[in-house]
Amino acid sequence: MTILVFDSGIGGLTVLREARVIMPEHRFVYFADDAAFPYGDWEEGALVERMLGVFDGLIQTYNPVMIMVACNTASTLILPHLRKRFSIPIVGTVPAIKPAAERTASGQVSVLATPGTVQRDYTRSLIAEFASQVNVRLVGSENLAAIADRFMLTGEVDDAAVRAEINECFVDRLGARTDVVVLACTHYPFLTNVFRRLAPWPVDWLNPAEAIARHAQNLLPRGGLVQDVQDIAQFSAGPPKPELRRFLSGFGMQVV
């Protein structure tokens, strides 16, 4: 059975990595809509229209049994439209605000996200529903997704640039310090060890990728043939650069 994993770039590979561990018997198709990256720069209506057109083509081509939207910005917009349009299970990636509110001891939680995710009403509704007794700071980063992608491909990182993007996450109010930072963009877990090294004090960097993969596993239709077929990756902007092709090859993916 084929599972479609969708993102605006390569950040969704952090979710795919966990999904492949948990569901190794399935074939995965990873689609990156990099021609439209970053999604946070789009007007909402135009972005929804674009994504629906892309999904129509992907469903027709690959006939997946499930869609995993491995992008917070996309998920906060497209999930209701996809569930109305397609009858297969749809799994989204939304900021892990509920588990953060359950984990915090200090009551100080930060959500590190793209500006698009920070601005969405969906994000604020999650805070109102699950974290009303917690102080939640929303931190929108303009540059961190690109920094994470570059680090993943080259191993190079500018510490000062990363520190500038994460500094606002750390709050100290009368001794109550931020103790949980939600990684609300799938690109950011690539930098978790860098975050730990640069943080002014230890915090729990909350990466929801494993929980998303387990949720997907629970929703999968039972039965079906085991797929002895290589997982594939496709990019809307055309063939990726050689360094990304090499990474994907090492990741066990065939670029089409």
**Active site annotation includes 169:** no
Q: Of 214, 251, 227, 238, which Cα lies nearest the Cα of 63?
A: 227
**Active site annotation includes 71:** yes
- Per-residue pLDDT of 123-150, as tens digits, reads 999 999 999 999 999 999 989 999 998 9
What pLDDT does residue 228 have?
62
Query: Whole-model pTM above 0.95?
Result: no
- Per-residue pLDDT of 52-84, as tens digits, reads 999 999 999 999 999 999 998 889 889 999 999
**Residue 232: strand, helix, or coil:** strand
Cα–Cα distances in angstroms (integers) from residue 97 to residues 171, 216, 255, in the given order: 17, 19, 34
**Residue 137: strand, helix, or coil:** strand
| Residues 26-33, mean pLDDT to the nearest whole number | 94
pLDDT band at 223; cut points 50, 70, 90: low
Report the distance separating Cα 91 and Cα 193, nearest Å: 27
Order of all β-strands in the sheet with 180-183: 135-140, 108-113, 180-183, 204-206
Q: What is the DSSP string of 56-102?
A: HHHHHHH--SEEEE--HHHHHHHHHHHHHH--S-EE-----HHHHHH
For all residues of the chain together, what is the average pLDDT? 91
In contact, 14 and 183? CB cutoff 8 Å? no
Q: Which of 71, 113, 152, 209 is catalytic?
A: 71
| Residue type present at position 230 | Q
| Residue tagged 């601005």 (tokens) | 119
Q: Which of 185, 191, 233, 248 is catalytic?
A: 185
| Residue tagged 């129509």 (tokens) | 56
Q: What is the DSSP letter of 184?
A: -
Backbone angles phi, psi at 173, to 5 degrees: -115, 110
pLDDT band at 39; cut points 50, 70, 90: confident
Domains of the chain: 2-93+210-255 (3.40.50.1860), 97-207 (3.40.50.1860)
Q: Tally the residues of the chain.
A: 256
What pLDDT does residue 193 have?
96
